[in-house]
A and B are shown apart, each in its own frame.
Chain A
Amino acid sequence: MRGLFKGDGGLSVLSSLVAVIAGLLVGLVVLLLTDASQAFPAFINILTAGFQSIRNFGEVLYFATPIILTGLSVGFAMKTGLFNIGAAGQFTFGAYVAVLIGVQATFLPPPVRLLVSLLAAMLAGALWGAIPGLLKAFRNVHEVISCIMTNWIGIFLVNWLILNTIFDAERNSTMRVPAAANMPGLGLGEFFQGDAIRPSSVNSGILIAILTAIVVYIILEKTKFGYELKACGFNQDAAKYAGISEKRNIVLSMMISGAIAGLGGALHFLSGAGITMNVANVLSSEGFTGISVALLGLNNPIGIIFGGLLIAYLHLGGFQMQVFGFVPEIIEIVTAVIIYFCAFVLLVKMMLTRAAQKSAAQKPPDGAGPPDSNKEGGQG
């Protein structure tokens, strides 16, 4: 676990916390401006909603599942030097393929169908991620531009595909996937039911999300492949110098990133919570929330689990805002502010590091550095 919070880990966690607290405070100001009398009870509710009942906590886990995956998708790409803003499209594409198989592949027994759904969703996400990857590697098209394009192409393509395959005109959305071909609940819903009337929506998806985070961590930190990917991300020229094919790595990195987002889409719509894909011309919010999650988790896979939980926790509080006469969108403002502060805190952190480097640059080389660097080697 040493690698988790390597070096400036304390500073990293601190900067995320500062962002969250600052975001919450600005959120409070917005609440006060909207309706001062209800602001404080509502604010307290945002802070406590996730822990008010065991079912609420189950819901937090349920909300966290897809955004942990999109967060991992963005964070993984970021570690390799790419800004995958296309998680939304990859998420949607993966989701569609998963639902398509779930609804139509009736010739497969449900558990097998589920497995095929998940794998196909990853493949679909990977293919959708490969497009900006290939464009970046071979045509030097910035991935942000092509990702934005593939996001919209993805939405309209998926809408069109839904209309022609698994459309349920009554609900203007996809048909339902039979319960047996959804993610098994493993009794989690009941476990988190508490004394509520209905079980929680949490299901085995959260376990897959956590498992994915661990796998991503292992790939990045423990394998030769991760060594190459991160070398490319940190310094493409040095990677090339070392004979690493940076083109291949860009494509692979975008594919893996897309696969993770696609898996997120599958887990979201195969959750068994009764949600279906609507035919609407909007990008999935999970894809963009993934950027916030990755930022909060500072691209660290394990940090991203907590980032996802935190945003999910705030979202749950947001849903309950209506009780206090606020619109639930207020929580979007809070989240947005947190993200702004994240970026801001990152900037401050970067400036602090720069300042430290600048002074390091003044250090006399070869043994004249600070006292602790005078010793050869150290104990490692």
Chain B
Amino acid sequence: MYIIEMQNITKKFPGIVANDDVTLQLKKGEIHALLGENGAGKSTLMSVLFGLYKPEGGRILKNGQEVNITGPNDATALGIGMVHQHFKLVHNFTVLENIILGVETTHRGVLQMKDAREKVLSLSKQYGLGIDVGKEIQDITVGMQQRVEILKMLYRENEILIFDEPTAVLTPQEIDALMQTMKGLAAEGRSILFITHKLDEIKAVADRCTVLRKGKKIGTVDVADTSKEELSEMMVGRKVVLSLDKKEANVGELILDVRGLSMKGEDGHKNKLTDVSLTVNAGEIVCVAGIEGNGQTDLVYALTGLAPISGGAITMMGKDITKTKIRERGRLGMAHIPEDRHRHGLVLDYILAYNAILQIYFTPRFQQSGFLKQGEIRDYAEWLIRQFDIRSGRGADTITRSMSGGNQQKVIVGREIDRDPHLLIAVQPTRGLDVGAIEHIHQQLLKQRDEGKAVLLISLELEEVMNISDRILVMYEGEIVANADPKAVSYQELGLYMSGAKREVVG
């Protein structure tokens, strides 16, 4: 008897089978991991369970009884709750208001907050969540927001809890706390579905693990009897090298020199950047680590010229580029793989070929007296497609919007690397990509380094930071609080820097 059993679920979208005869069995009181690459069908399967999609085939049973879930309300009624990857919280509501939202008790139309407050407080205490229910969401940390989401499920007395990639936004310490909470909930008899692609976390908390690949179920295994290598092989379908083959850095001349950079916040708010100084030399990868929203984005905007700075100086290869225009910075040898590929990196409604030339369309190679050279553009795009193994429906003519995220990213990475820059600024270049694509992009970054380019990598993934960088800078609230050697620093220590609990003076 399973508390939830999804039998032979098939869900099709035009041109693709997102779930192909997938069966998932969740035992009462277990932590069950759902492992798969991006696009393997994890989210689709959970959306089916949550009633967001209607499957073409298969059925869902709760405690052996077939149930019909047609929407989130049905799911909630069955005791199914979900912590989404992007939290569903109202930012200017208090914690308490967010928790009761949708299940408010009212008396003649007037909210009854007193009972709710007591219940939330006792739950928070019981699970050691330590939440101040009176604070507004915008004033609490991301880790705290996640606990609010968990409290929301507990308040609704959900017994089946789905966590969708819950650790992506957390510090190592917060991840540990979350793992403890999850274990505690399971020990109480609640059943947890844990969606992730991080093998360490599965090994740390999960009892069993179901692996999906390309919409198909590969198998369900007991985590205790399965190694990380076996899990990753099930996920990717081939052997994966989990550690990178990395040569010693051959550090050369100074390429980027940033002194005392600061950026004002929007009226009244505190500075986005305060006195940031850093250097990047040829032949090294300097990684900026930190929790999302601690000024990394602003730092990149300042360096690339996307946003104005209020103080400090930026020098690239001995030339002051503090006031230089974006295009000119590019001409001087700065390439930029942007954080948000849909916002900055691509014109999604342009064809692939037009996005391939986004940074070089004005060069004589691609235009003559103002007219685009269509033939050259197409040839270049096709060369880029071959060079970086970019897959798409109609080659150079594919509308970029219709391509998968990984292939869109390959267009950007390929395009930027091919500019043969002196300085490559890569912002979360592997976000949302699967293991295979991540491996490929990491190799490209290392290749750039080994060819003597300066690489500035901004990443939220500590594992990436530790594996690939030659030097780590940690940002906290718009300041650089640590300059660390990846060989000498521990995950825990980085976590302390990232959460502001510790700082060293950086010159």
A interface, CB within 8 angstroms of B: 7, 222-225, 227, 230-231, 234-235, 237-244, 356-360, 362-380
Contact = CB atoms under 8 A, between A and B. Distances in A.
B407 interface: yes
B391 interface: yes
A359 B389 contact: no
Chain B CB within 10 Å — which of A235, A241, A367 has the most? A241
Interface in B349-407: 349-350, 354, 358-359, 361-362, 367, 370-372, 374, 378, 381-382, 385-386, 389-399, 401-402, 404-407
A380 B404 contact: no
A379 B398 CA distance: 11
Contacts of A364: 16, 37-41, 214-215, 404
15 contacts: A222-B374, A227-B361, A241-B306, A243-B330, A360-B402, A363-B13, A364-B37, A365-B37, A365-B434, A365-B437, A366-B404, A366-B437, A368-B215, A373-B391, A380-B394
A366 B407 contact: yes
A7 B399 contact: yes
Contacts of B398: 378
Nearest to B351: A6
B173 interface: no
Contact of B345 (A241, A358, A372): A241
A377 B39 contact: no
A365 to B, nearest CB: 3
A220 to B, nearest CB: 11
Nearest to B377: A227
B343 interface: yes
Contact of A367 (B43, B385, B391): B391
Contact of A362 (B13, B346, B378, B393): B13
Nearest to A244: B327
B288 to A, nearest CB: 19
A356 B348 CA distance: 15
B362 A224 contact: yes
A14 B381 CA distance: 32
B434 A366 contact: yes
B338 interface: yes
Contacts of A243: 325-328, 330, 359
B14 interface: yes
Given A364-B40, A365-B433, 5 more contacts: A224-B367, A365-B38, A369-B391, A373-B391, A378-B397
A376 B267 CA distance: 50
Nearest to A235: B347
Nearest to A363: B16
A372 B434 contact: no
B385 A377 contact: yes
B404 to A, nearest CB: 3
Contacts of A357: 401-402
B382 A238 contact: no
Contact of B214 (A230, A244, A368): A368
Contacts of B44: 362
Query: 5 smallest A-B Cβ distances: which pairs?
Result: A243-B327, A364-B39, A359-B13, A365-B404, A370-B15
Contacts of B14: 356, 359
Interface in B311-352: 325-328, 330, 336, 338, 343-350
A225 B371 CA distance: 8
Contacts of A230: 347, 350
Contacts of B382: 377, 380
Chain B CB within 10 Å — which of A231, A234, A242, A379 has the most? A242
B436 interface: yes
B336 A241 contact: yes
A370 B370 contact: no
Contacts of B358: 231, 238, 241-242
Contacts of B336: 241
A226 to B, nearest CB: 8
A367 B405 CA distance: 11
Contacts of A370: 15-16, 393
Contact of A223 (B326, B344, B370): B370
Interface string B413-434: 0000000000000000000011
B255 interface: no
B494 interface: no
B18 interface: yes
A371 B359 CA distance: 31
Nearest to A357: B401
